Structure 1
Amino acid sequence: MLRGLTAGATATVIGGTASASDRGVVEESIDPDDVSVTITGSTGCSDGVDPSNWSDGTGTDGGENFDRVDLDDDVEGVSGKDSYEDFTCEGYTVVVPGNSFDVSIDWNDGGFDHHYANVWIDWKQTNDWSEAYETRLMADESDDSDTVTGTVDVPDVAADGLTLARVRLSMYDYKDPDVKAIGEVNDFTVNIWASRECADPSNWPSGAGDYGYENIDRVSIGSQVEKTSDRDGYEDFTCPDKAIFEPGDTFDVEMDWSDGGLDNHYANLYVDWDQNQDWSTATEYVLLDDADDDSVTGSTTVTVPDDAASGPTLARARLSWGQFDEPDADGLGEVNDFTIYVE
């Protein structure tokens, strides 16, 4: 198979015929030694990498195979008993240096034991597997009945842009990304947003809590940024992790908290969508309203305004006692600051 021809590209085939599919692939059934190809126009897809820029790696049919590979609920590849699947043009997951994301696999052991799975990602975008980073998903596994999920950490050296993630299922041990071995290989595109800046809380009027027994335990911003804190009046979580959204996106914000044995707690989130560093024009979202039971997670759903300014802005989550406190007030409770980046 010759990968990479798109609409408008041409191929010259000696000794046979070829046709272009709508995914930009020329398929041929003749001896590859009898084929020469001349390509004009663009190659690959507009929102994915071309695996041919990296050294090949594939599986061989040994009975086992991937049924499904999922990258952070953003991209899902479903395959059968194939030694290799290219999902690089099926969308991508967006990641940020310093953050992490999940890779989940469902697989079929084919009646055999001793299986391994790993992920290789070329974070530096050198097209050199020797510089890629490996994350191991499972080791010496013989039970294919459960979904396997691993967490991939995005290193600070990750370069901005699209790169290749190679997920492979192997037998007896972990395999390198560029070998042919029993199992299956799936390729995906990962989009690294390394150049997105963090919000600087010092550009906004300050606000803090004062230790009064109650405190924030955990805040999650759209499942992209999740931070835990202790009995502190203020925590700055604006960097390096960022929650990245586009205008019109909807996401959930959650807060776990401790009441310190007291009642009448309130929690809210302020976001400066205008990025004018003026809390008086910020949007407020309510997470808790006169809550007494800290076993209940505070939550709210946020929709990014269509006219939200592009770039980094500050989101301030606060837990208060007796009332909703303003974002720039000092009061009993706790304040956590986060970066939301509007793309």
Structure 2
Amino acid sequence: MRVAILAHEQFPDDAKTAVGVLRYSDHDAVAVLDRERAGQRVRDHLPDVQDAPIVAEMDDAPECDALLIGIAPIGGGFEESWRPDVAAALRRGCDVVAGLHYLLGEDEQFRALAEEHAGEIRDVRRPPEDLTVASGTAGDVDARVVLTVGTDCSSGKMTGAYELRAAARERGLDAAVVPTGQTGIMISGRGIAIDRVISDFAAGATERLVTAAADHDVLFVEGQGALAHPAYSGVTTAILHGAQPDSLVLCHVAGRQRVGGYERFELPDPGSYAQLYESMAAPVSGATVDAGFLNTAALDRDEADQRLDAYEQALDAPVTDPVRDGAAAVLDAVL
């Protein structure tokens, strides 16, 4: 599918959905929409993902099948400045794929345009209607279940899951990612956005995803939020208990000491955080933190190596930056 990706004024640092689609999706990206960087190209900012021109608005994008909303703002709201681009895409007969809590399919203007021009609005955060509470059966699957967890939001959980899948497939394993958030769903075309699910059913939704994929050798469950996050700890706990993982990988951003967007809260040190995850997992699955991922994108090689060594000592487990160095050592640890 040929797609344009909306990332206005956020690309690349604060447009993790856009970056995830560019790095891991099979979609052919024809353009990224960002008013501030129009005239540039993706490779000017991210040399290790598929390239595309950056344009100011949807009317400047080449012919495509869909517009993807590539931004995941706090609270999942819709920015009204995006409205002209969404409307332009629908008038062109394009589908619109969004992962917001604001459901575009319930917007009267967008719904009318979609009907008039034969486009489809896909709100990937809309959960199934037949979810139930967990039955505690995810631990019965034969597949090895590995959950990426974080010290904060946007700490590399989704990236780590897909890099682990790539490393496992290179070894001939039948591996799959279990998407639990909007970006993973856009990449894989399946999954449930657990943070949109009624809280009583969130663990059950995770359990459904894991048991549905049980025929693989290994499953890499995409974590959400963080266990000590002041806003998002609920979804983290639901996934941790619903997936009943065998192993955990703790993801962290080098140098981050406070919760992103909630700077009054300090992050626990990595060793304490690992113990917190293990304590929460113990009554349900007994999973342990067997490895870590560290995002060192903002550092030069020498400083990155120092931070990787320090994080490895803090966890007493293998650590890599999966984008820079791959996930092979972490895969060894979790298998």
Normalising by the residue count of structure 2, what TM-score does the alignment of the two structures yield? 0.26
Q: TM-score when scaled to structure 1?
A: 0.26
Q: Larger radius of gyration, structure 1 or 2?
A: 1
Structure 1 or 2: more helix by fraction: 2
